[in-house]
A and B are shown apart, each in its own frame.
Chain A
Amino acid sequence: MTKLVKKIPLYLLAILILVITGLPFFIMFLTSFKGQMEFMTSPWSWPENFSLDSYKLLIELEFFGYFWNSMIVSVISVVIVIFIAAMASYPLARLTFRLNRPIFIIFMVGMMIPIHTTLVPIFTLTNDLGLYDSLLGLVGPYIAFALPISVVIFTQFMRDIPKELEESAKIDGCSHIRLFWNIIFPLLTPAVATVSIYNFIQIWNEFIFALTLTSSSQTATLPIGLREFYGEFSVNIPGIMAALTLGSLPLLLVYFVAQEKIVAGLAAGSVKG
């Protein structure tokens, strides 16, 4: 009995934090099923008859185009980052050469560089390359800013792989390309998971480059689309809540399916970073 009493403050604190973190999501979700009039009269009550009007409106407005854009940009960027970051990490982790440390530090320093410091040159560069307002124009900066953490994670991970593995392969006259591709890369699966999860979340939610380097709704990614929708329908609050719900849904769904994996991946990435 005394044990239970002792636990009451713990429960109260746990529930308080649960309400603070969870309530905004809950309200967002519920409000998205309300009619506009209903929201005006009683903004925070339980919805009377779960209306799907807001979601219908989103489909009519081709809201899913934004998903598609975000998906393309995120997947392309993450796949390229995995390959070129793993490649760059191979000599940094496994070979000794004079510029090894400086190059590693140059990549690592990238984690503290404010994106805004590169914004104007990247804007003019993207214009000059004819990539302004195209999804391809976003891929370059996304890759560049994902590289520092990815190179650090891969390098740390590869340093822990026993040297004997490739010693024997080297004796067999294996080239570096085959060594990397056939022996090292297959062992990287946990690091690949970490790098993909971390970067996917970052790129999927990225805002400032998308805001600066694209302008039309054909190239808008999800965060840009959400903001556009908010600007246009700011009085239709259930509609906005439906857009926010849909916009958050993909990551939340993936999270609930692969929770442990995502949490472990994020932690590993940041701790090493």
Chain B
Amino acid sequence: MERTDDLKIVKVKNVPKRKNKDTWAIIGFIAPAFLIYGVYVIYSIFMTFYYSLFDWTGIDSNMVFIGLENYIALFRDGVFWTSIQNNFLLVIASLFTQLPIGLIMALLLFSPIKGMRLFRSVYFMPFLMSTVAIGILFIFIYEGNYGLLNSVLGVIGLESLQTAWIGKESTAIWAVIATVCWQFAPFYMILFRATIVGIPEELYEAADIDGATGWQRFKNITLPLLMPIIVTSAILSVIGSLKYFDLIYVMTGGGPNNSTELMATYMYKQTFTNFNMGYGSSISFAMFIIAFIVTLFILFGDKQRKGNDS
């Protein structure tokens, strides 16, 4: 696959003979990266589509071509629809928790309070922990009998709220979403903080002369200048939520009763637990298409926004 692409470069570059000297340098410089990327990413996407056209366990070489039947089955598969629904719930919940909380954390780091170094250091810690470690840790936080959350609720007199957070269908997905927020809000905090640092001090000084309140300063200076990074963060958050896997796999395995199933966990289950590699491939290709469409939508929306601004 990538070899033909390389050849294309050669052909096109050979047209203007004068630049021939550069052509080989260009190929030489790009080839190593393009080769690895081509084999593991580009080739794999095509192969996933190819596999999705077969009835195949993955353990034997017996592949039966069945056309689009896997996709037809997918459309009728209730668990798949549950997983899409959960993925979009995660997308929306992430956007409306991670980004605002990340922004509040970033703004706090610029407020005139003492002990800033401690706040800053601790706030960022969750992002450095591996998702697997976070998952295991939060299993114990949400545990029904002695779990940390229930203990805290007991101490502040809210015993009535105590429950087996990730053992119950009604609470499991929210418990997981809260954990995802705990993990990623610090990341957006860092992005927002880096942008706020870059805002020229003169802008605020001018606002002070005009007698602007703190809220006006935020609304008229900070927020507009943060807009580009908020859009970037939104893209990262949406794409990240669509391919989310690790935490759910460790914490709930998609349960109880598929209530926390995501496209990625369902794909993994079908492929490597039930050995339906053909069917699993159709789920992963559907994930690709969904991520692709959503990305196009966001980019288009961003273009519109930029168009309106200028």
Q: Which residues of A contact B (CB under 8 A)?
A: 7, 10-11, 13-14, 17-18, 20-25, 27-28, 43-44, 84-85, 87-88, 90-92, 95, 97-99, 103, 106-107, 110-122, 124-125, 140-141, 143-145, 147-148, 151, 175-177, 180, 201, 204-205, 207-208, 212, 222-224, 226-227, 230, 237, 240-241, 244, 247-248, 251-252, 255-256, 259, 263-264, 266-268, 270-271, 273
Q: Chain B CB within 10 Å — which of A7, A117, A244 has the most?
A: A117
- Return the 8 tightest CB-CB contacts between A and B, nearest first: A267-B194, A144-B40, A118-B44, A114-B243, A205-B130, A121-B47, A88-B33, A121-B44
Majority SS at the chain B contact face:
helix
CB-based nearest B residue for A23: B148
Residue from the list B104, B148, B229 in contact with A27, Cβ < 8 A: B148
Residues of A within 8 A of B9 (CB): 99
Q: Chain B CB within 10 Å — which of A91, A119, A240 has the most?
A: A119
In the complex with contacts A88-B29, A99-B8, A114-B288, A212-B123 CB distance below 8 A: no
> Do A176 and B25 have beta carbons less than 8 Å apart?
yes
> Do A227 and B136 have beta carbons less than 8 Å apart?
yes
Q: How far is the CA of A14 from the CA of B191 in the complex (A)?
A: 18
Q: How far is the CA of A49 from the CA of B192 in the complex (A)?
A: 43
Binds A, one of B66-74, B108-116, B166-174: B108-116
Instruction: Indicate whether B121 reaches chain A with its CB closer than 8 angstroms.
Output: yes
In the complex with contacts A99-B12, A121-B43, A88-B34 CB distance below 8 A: yes
> Do A113 and B291 have beta carbons less than 8 Å apart?
yes
Residues of A within 8 A of B108 (CB): 10, 13-14, 17
Residues of B within 8 A of A267 (CB): 190-191, 193-194
Q: How far is the CA of A207 from the CA of B265 in the complex (A)?
A: 13
Binds A, one of B204-212, B278-286, B300-308: B278-286
> Do B284 and A21 have beta carbons less than 8 Å apart?
no
> Do A244 and B133 have beta carbons less than 8 Å apart?
yes
In the complex with contacts A18-B119, A147-B36, A116-B287 CB distance below 8 A: yes
Minimum Cβ distance to chain A for residue B14 (Å):
11
> Do A115 and B129 have beta carbons less than 8 Å apart?
no
Q: How far is the CA of A251 from the CA of B246 in the complex (A)?
A: 19
Binds A, one of B90-98, B138-146, B216-224: B138-146
> Do B284 and A204 have beta carbons less than 8 Å apart?
no
> Do A84 and B40 have beta carbons less than 8 Å apart?
no
> Do A268 and B194 have beta carbons less than 8 Å apart?
yes
In the complex with contacts A120-B271, A125-B39, A201-B128 CB distance below 8 A: yes
> Do A248 and B37 have beta carbons less than 8 Å apart?
no
In the complex with contacts A85-B33, A247-B130, A114-B264 CB distance below 8 A: yes
Q: Chain B CB within 10 Å — which of A24, A98, A240, A266 has the most?
A: A24
Q: How far is the CA of A120 from the CA of B271 in the complex (A)?
A: 8
> Do A263 and B133 have beta carbons less than 8 Å apart?
no
Q: How far is the CA of A115 from the CA of B236 in the complex (A)?
A: 15
Q: How far is the CA of A21 from the CA of B140 in the complex (A)?
A: 16
Q: Which residues of B contact A (CB under 8 A)?
A: 8-9, 12-13, 19, 22-23, 25-26, 29-30, 32-34, 36-37, 39-45, 47-48, 51, 58, 104-105, 108, 111-113, 118-126, 128-133, 136-138, 140-141, 146, 148, 151, 182, 186-187, 190-191, 193-195, 229, 232, 236, 239, 242-243, 245-246, 249-250, 263-264, 267-268, 271-272, 277, 280-281, 284-285, 287-288, 291-292, 295
> Do B291 and A114 have beta carbons less than 8 Å apart?
yes
Pull 23 A–B residue pairs with CB atoms less than 8 Å apart, ordered by A.
Answer: A7-B112, A13-B104, A18-B119, A18-B123, A21-B122, A21-B182, A84-B33, A110-B37, A114-B287, A116-B268, A118-B284, A119-B284, A120-B51, A144-B39, A176-B29, A180-B29, A205-B131, A205-B132, A207-B131, A207-B245, A226-B132, A255-B128, A267-B190
> Do B119 and A14 have beta carbons less than 8 Å apart?
yes
Q: How many A-B residue pairs have CB under 8 A?
A: 256
> Do A207 and B186 have beta carbons less than 8 Å apart?
no
Q: How far is the CA of A80 from the CA of B162 in the complex (A)?
A: 50
> Do B239 and A248 have beta carbons less than 8 Å apart?
no
> Do A110 and B41 have beta carbons less than 8 Å apart?
yes
Q: Chain A CB within 10 Å — which of B13, B40, B138, B232 has the most?
A: B40
CB-based nearest A residue for B12: A98
Residue from the list B104, B141, B186, B232 in contact with A21, Cβ < 8 A: B186
Residue from the list B113, B128, B191, B280 in contact with A7, Cβ < 8 A: B113
Q: How far is the CA of A224 from the CA of B131 in the complex (A)?
A: 11
Residue from the list A88, A115, A117, A248 in contact with B133, Cβ < 8 A: A248
